[in-house]
Amino acid sequence: MSTPPLAKNLGRSDSAKASLPLRRREAANLVPQTRLGGPIPWVIAIMIALVVVAAAGGLALSNLANNARADLSGAVTVQIVEADADLRAQKAADAATLLIAQDNVSTVRVVPEDELGEMLEPWLGDGAGSQDIPIPALIDVQLSSASRPEQIAQLQATLDAAVQGTRVDAQSDWLQPVYSALSALQYLALALIGLLAFACAAAVWLASRSAFANHRDTVEIIHLLGGTDAQVTRIFQRSVVRDAAFGGFVGLVLGALAVWLLGRQFAALDSGMVAGGGLDWSDWAIIAAIPLAGIALALLTGRITILMALRRML
């Protein structure tokens, strides 16, 4: 009988490297399924797409609010209520002269009557332009700095002293409820993103647990042959990363497509307010980073799940 081929002391001579994790290819070989399986990649894709839409919405709202705030922060409107048209024009001119002389006023514009008529037409009908319905004169005032309540009060006092029937309003005051609504929507978007991240982690947790349960025998064998937790974790990690990468990519594409289409719809509205809500390149960079964050979250969740399951084994 020939001598058994036992000459080399292989496993032991390499024991210095024993703590090295399995290299990629071998790790992949150990678990036959290359995916966590089933619907998980698509679940991740849907979550990522929704996060992309929510994030784009939140960013657009934030741009919108910032632009509006910047436009309107120093904007003040002066109304002059006077039934007699000639007198009204006179008062408006007086008030404008007075306003332009103020230190903190940078520009003053008396809004022409026909412009006012056009603005009011949708509400008042054809009659808006006629002299029959008295409409107040309007003066747009741009302050050199953001308006503060005491400045408004001071302007009002100055005007009251010279011209009767004026009313000074900061435009940002009118828009306060709009800002509140915008920031509420932004918080909603944030909360949505948080919930989606949670749901995504939960899906990966469930999938990792069932993948682990399916391959429990293999894991036990690997343990008994001297495999470390790190080596076992790496095997599963690979499936998680693959699935999350697939889901992340598909989700990003779907989400970005939806955002682009929505953007076109809003652009078609051609409203001054919505135009301020576009996304610039830094916003798109944030959106592009969402799948990466999703992969990182899935990886972390998968790792923790597997390590926790391993802790329960000897």
Partner 1 sequence: MTERAGDIVNFDNVGLRYGTEPEVLSDLSFTLFPGSFYFLTGASGAGKTSLLKLLYLAQRPSRGAIRMFGKDMITLPREELPMYRRRLGVVFQDFRLVDHLTAFDNVALPLRLAGVKDSNLTKPVSDMLDWVGLTERAQAKPATMSGGEQQRVAIARAVIGRPDMLIADEPTGNVDPEMALKLLRLFEALNRLGTTVVVATHDVHLLKKVPESLIMRLNKGRLHDPTGALRFPPRPSGATTSRSDEL
Comparison of 56 and 309: residue with beta carbon closer to partner 1: 309
If binding means CB under 8 A, how many residues of this protein chain bind partner 1? 38
Which residue of 103, 126, 132, 217 would you call a contact of partner 1, by CB under 8 A? 217
Contact present, 283 and 59 (Cβ < 8 Å): yes
- What's the closest the beta carbon of residue 298 comes to partner 1, in angstroms? 24
Comparison of 19 and 131: residue with beta carbon closer to partner 1: 19
29 binds partner 1 (CB under 8 A): yes
The string of DSSP codes covering 151-209 is HHHHHHHHHHHHSSSEEEEEHHHHHHHHHHHHHHHHHHHHHHHHHHHHHHHHHHHHHHH
Comparison of 264 and 311: residue with beta carbon closer to partner 1: 311
1 binds partner 1 (CB under 8 A): yes
Comparison of 39 and 226: residue with beta carbon closer to partner 1: 226
The string of DSSP codes covering the chain is -PPPS----HHHHTGGGTTSPPPHHHHHHHSS-SSS-TTHHHHHHHHHHHHHHHHHHHHHHHHHHHHHHHHHTTEEEEEE--SSHHHHHHHHHHHHHHHHTSTTEEEEEEEPHHHHHHHHHHHHGGGGGSTTS---EEEEEEESS---HHHHHHHHHHHHHHSSSEEEEEHHHHHHHHHHHHHHHHHHHHHHHHHHHHHHHHHHHHHHHHHHHHTHHHHHHHHHTT--HHHHHHHHHHHHHHHHHHHHHHHHHHHHHHHHHHHHHHHHH--HHHHTT---HHHHHHHHHHHHHHHHHHHHHHHHHHHHHHHT--
Which residues, in sequence order, are CB contacts of 303 under 8 Å at separation 6+? 233, 237, 240
Comparison of 22 and 240: residue with beta carbon closer to partner 1: 22
Q: What CA–CA distance (Å, rounded) separates 201 from 302? A: 8
- What's the closest the beta carbon of residue 208 comes to partner 1, in angstroms? 19
3 binds partner 1 (CB under 8 A): yes
- What's the closest the beta carbon of residue 313 comes to partner 1, in angstroms? 9
9 binds partner 1 (CB under 8 A): yes
Comparison of 135 and 222: residue with beta carbon closer to partner 1: 222
218 binds partner 1 (CB under 8 A): yes
Which residue of 8, 103, 280, 281 would you call a contact of partner 1, by CB under 8 A? 8
Looking only at residues 293 through 312 of this chain, which bind partner 1 when binding is defined by CB under 8 A? 311
Q: Which of 17-25, 92-100, 183-191, 260-268 is the region at the interface with partner 1 (rule: CB under 8 A)?
A: 17-25
Binding mask 220-249 for partner 1 (x = CB under 8 A): xxxxxxxxxx-x------------------
34 binds partner 1 (CB under 8 A): no
Q: Which of 6-14, 42-50, 169-177, 267-275 is the region at the interface with partner 1 (rule: CB under 8 A)?
A: 6-14
Q: Which of 34-42, 72-80, 137-145, 214-222 is the region at the interface with partner 1 (rule: CB under 8 A)?
A: 214-222
14 binds partner 1 (CB under 8 A): yes
Binding residues (CB under 8 A) for partner 1: these are 1-6, 8-12, 14-15, 17-20, 22, 26, 29-32, 217-218, 220-229, 231, 311, 314
